[in-house]
Amino acid sequence: MSAAISLRERYMQKLQQMTDKVGLSDLTIDELAAFTVLLTLAYARVVAGQPSTSDQLGKWPL
């Protein structure tokens, strides 16, 4: 198993643990806004029918 897959799986497990306790209705307006920003790229990609690509961490221009 590659390190990237292992890291992805760890993030997925952590997210699952958190969402078992916290739902969207528990979030503040600021948290909802931040979550919306986080999901925007994935939403656009999925709606366009594009497959998930490799993680882009470190590839984005600052």
pLDDT tens digits, one per residue of 6-41: 888 888 999 999 999 999 999 999 999 999 999 998
**30-59 mean pLDDT:** 83
Distance, CA of 54 to CA of 37 (rounded, Å): 20
Query: Which pLDDT score is estimated for 18?
Result: 96
pLDDT at 62 over 70: no
The DSSP secondary-structure symbol of 55 reads -
Q: How confident is the model at residue 57 (pLDDT cuts 50, 70, 90)?
A: low
Q: How confident is the model at residue 56 (pLDDT cuts 50, 70, 90)?
A: low
